[in-house]
Each structure stands twice: as C-alpha cells, then as structure tokens.
Amino acid sequence: MNIYLVRHGQSEGNIDPTIYTHTADHAIPLSDLGREQAKEAGQFLARHLEIRDGGSPESIRFWTSPYSRARETANVMRAQFGAYHTDIREHINLCEQQFGLFDGIPEDELAERFPEEHAHYEKCERHEGRFWARMPLGESRFDVAVRVHQAFGTFHRDADKHGVNDIVVVCHGVTLRAFVMQWLHLTVEWFEAEPNPVNGAIRLIENGVDLGYLWPE
C-alpha cells in the first residue's frame, strides 16, 4: 500500500491570523494561492500515478480531515485525477490539533488573557517538552499521535478488503508528522526535530518505506 500524505493548501488563516477571532478553525477556507497549490499538487500526483502505473487506472481513495481547508484541498486535487480515483471520504481523527482555550488567540496575547493557564502550559512545555505539553482544554501533540494511530485500521482495511492500492491523506502539518511517526514507529525525538511541511506538500510512504516529499519538486 502506498500512502500519499498531503498538507492542505495555504489557508486564509495562514495569511491573516485575525480571521481566527471571528471564524472557527475548522471553517477557515483556502486562500487563492492555496487553491492553486491544491490544483498543482493534484496535477503532479495524477502524473506521478499515471507514469508509475503505465496509464492504467488504479484503485485510489482520498481520505481527508473534515476541516474546510483540507476538504477543499482534497476536492481540488481529486478533480485533477479523471479516471484515477475511486472516492473521497472523511475521518475525524485526521483533524488539526485542538488548541482548546488558546484557539484563535494571538500568541502574544495569551499571557495577558489567560495568565494562569499560559504559565502552566509554559511550565509543562519547559519541563516535559512540547510534544507532551497539553493545551488547556485542548490537545498535546502526544494526543494527536494517539488519535491518528486509531485511524490506521481503516486504511489497512482499505488495502486488505477493498483493493485500495493508493491512499491520499489530506490533513494538517502536526497531523501529518504524527502519521509518519506512528506508521513508521519513529521516536518522539524524530517528531520534535521534523519541521512542518509547506502547504500543498506531498510525502510518500511506499510499502512501509518513507520516500520523503515528492512535491514541491
């Protein structure tokens, strides 16, 4: 089974953080550039699959985070595939890290608006490391890794029972890194050293081997 991990295209929140003050994180759409990134990523992946498979349509399934920016990325990418896809489905375990009390608040305002909670989070981050520190009323990166792992049975069933050879997973930066870490049994240290991919990036895990980012080239 080949797994293509895709970070959503640039969102409106990536270019204007104030949007978080009036729009829920899950509802933030792609920017114009983000839609173009999704289109280019879809065109690249369609070419990649066609070249690899000699032009024969493969059984391909898209799995996407339910967040608007991921849904939109998946739909724009899928539109570039023509006959080279089966369907598209959502999995809530692929969503963005939950920031809880800090969601939508500019980082430089956290200490003033939530002094006790921010001080506690910073203490945990210093003492335990960012991977383990849980956002107040939200998730740690550890939590993200656990819930991403819970989705793996779905992908194995796609391959074992439904003949899906290529799975395209459209999600978020932290979620994507957590997926790679858990699928390949990598360490917390690997996760903390691994940077987030750029928007629209495509990473391939081919039969259990990490081949890194294919796109952008």
Give 5's strand partners. 169, 203
CATH number at residue 179: 3.40.50.1240
What CA–CA distance (Å, rounded) separates 80 from 143? Answer: 34
Residues 83, 20, single domain; the answer is yes
Together in a domain, 208 and 109: no
How many C-beta atoms surround the C-beta of residue 38 within 10 A? 29
Q: Is there a single domain that holds both residue 37 and residue 53?
A: yes
User: How many domains, in total, are found in the chain?
Assistant: 2
pLDDT in tens, 132-163: 999 999 999 999 999 999 999 999 999 999 88
Residues 129 and 161 in one domain: no
Q: How many residues does the chain have?
A: 217
75 and 41, same structural domain?
A: yes
Please indicate, yes or no, whether residues 107 and 198 belong to a single structural domain of this protein. no
| 126 and 167 in a common domain | no
Domain boundary among the residues 107, 138, 169 is at 138
Q: Do residues 172 and 90 both lie within one domain?
A: yes
Please list the ranges in the chain whose pLDDT falls under 50. none
- Please state the pTM of the whole predicted model: 0.94
Per-residue confidence (pLDDT) for residue 61, from 0 to 100: 93
Angle among Cα 130, 167, 78 to the nearest 5 degrees reads 105
Q: Which of 81, 115, 138 is the last residue of a domain?
A: 138
Tell whether 134 and 108 lie within a shared domain. Answer: yes
Residue range(s) defining the domain that contains residue 128: 99-138
pLDDT score at 54: 63
**40 and 65 housed in the same domain:** yes
Examine the fold and report which residue of 73, 108, 138 is the final residue of a domain before the chain moves on.
138
Average pLDDT, the chain: 94
What is the pLDDT at residue 49?
87
Residues 66 and 150 in one domain: yes
Cα dihedral sign, 190-192-193-195: positive
List pLDDT tens digits, range 65-88: 999 999 999 999 999 988 777 789
Host H or E run for residue 61:
strand 60-64
8 belongs to the catalytic site: yes
- Residue 55 has a pLDDT of 60
Same-domain pairing of 165 and 205: yes
For residue 148, what pLDDT is reported? 98
From 12, 72, 96, 139, the catalytic residue: 96
Residue 209 confidence (pLDDT) = 97
